[in-house]
């Protein structure tokens, strides 16, 4: 039944550099491999699991972070899932985001990282991360514009990913509004969960 770039560094709370690079064709393969590990470790707790974020959009520049989103029945089960995934090296990171759990796993070389957003199944269909990914996949011109914006902002905010993320907000808000309009949904604040 298996269907934000610029995070605050969980070790010391400081903004991480906003470096990113060109799209790497290995990212989908890395997602598929990581998905298999997660599904094996999770048993039947994961009800949906998808690749989200910039590495899920072919051609879009990104940091080498494979962002994923998993749905569970409720966040109590999400806590159970987080404990199960700790054996794979996933750490639960406090982000202040509501209605989700955020886990991160770094590889030993730290050249690749994996981030897992755990949300409740009842919110799955309208998750902004999924809607944005799908909109960018369906609208290559929007993906190209987003890629150019990310490149420019990465140059402007080389040492502060929080400033980089904030500077993308207006563009992302516009994309989310368009995606929701296409689906007949009302607009929402991209910072709302």
The pLDDT profile of the chain, 193 residues, written as one tens digit per residue, is 344 333 334 333 444 555 678 999 999 999 999 999 999 999 899 999 999 999 999 999 998 999 999 999 999 999 999 999 999 999 999 988 889 999 999 888 767 799 999 999 999 999 999 999 999 999 999 999 999 999 999 899 888 888 988 999 999 999 999 999 999 999 999 887 6
* Residue 11 included in any domain: no
Residue 51 near residue 66, CB atoms below 8 Å:
yes
Q: What CATH number does the domain containing 138 carry?
A: 3.30.460.10
The total domain count for the chain is 1
Residue 103 near residue 90, CB atoms below 8 Å:
yes
* Residue 3 included in any domain: no
* Residue 9 included in any domain: no
Residues whose CB falls within 8 Å of the CB of residue 125, separated by 6 or more in sequence, listed in order: none
Half-sphere exposure of 50 (CA within 13 A, CB side): 19
Strand order in the sheet with 65-72: 48-52, 65-72, 113-120, 101-106, 91-93
Q: Read off the tokens for 94.
A: 């406090």
pLDDT at 107: 83
What is the residue range of 124's domain? 27-182
pLDDT at 96: 86
* Residue 172 included in any domain: yes
pLDDT at 5: 37
| Run of H or E residues at 72 | strand 65-72
pLDDT at 110: 67
* Residue 166 included in any domain: yes
* Residue 110 included in any domain: yes
Classify residue 110 as left (phi > 0), alpha (psi -120 to 50) or beta. Answer: left
* Residue 133 included in any domain: yes
pLDDT at 19: 60
* Residue 131 included in any domain: yes
Which among 71, 51, 33 has a CA at the least distance from the CA of 134? 51
Residue 87 CB-density burial (10 A; 0-12 exposed, 13-18 middle, 19+ buried): exposed
pLDDT at 3: 40
**In sequence order, what are the beta bridge partners of 93?**
102
pLDDT at 193: 66
The DSSP code for 63 is -
């Amino acid at each position: 039944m298996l269907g934000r770039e610029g995070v605050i560094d969980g070790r010391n709370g400081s903004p991480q550099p906003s470096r990113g690079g060109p799209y790497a064709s290995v990212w989908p393969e890395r997602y598929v491999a990581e998905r298999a590990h997660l599904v094996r470790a999770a048993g039947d707790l994961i009800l949906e699991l998808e690749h989200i974020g910039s590495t899920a959009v072919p051609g879009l520049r990104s940091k080498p972070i494979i962002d994923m989103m998993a749905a569970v029945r409720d966040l109590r089960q999400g806590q159970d899932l987080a404990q199960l995934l700790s054996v794979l090296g996933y750490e639960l990171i406090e982000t202040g985001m509501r209605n989700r759990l955020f886990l991160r796993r770094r590889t030993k070389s730290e050249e690749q990282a994996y981030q897992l957003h755990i949300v409740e199944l009842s919110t799955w269909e309208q998750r902004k991360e999924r809607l944005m990914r799908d909109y960018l996949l369906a609208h290559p011109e929007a993906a190209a514009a987003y890629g150019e914006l990310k490149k420019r902002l990465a140059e402007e905010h080389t040492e502060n990913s929080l400033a980089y993320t904030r500077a993308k907000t207006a563009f992302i808000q516009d994309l989310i509004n368009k995606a929701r309009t296409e689906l007949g949904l009302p607009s929402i604040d991209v910072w709302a969960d």
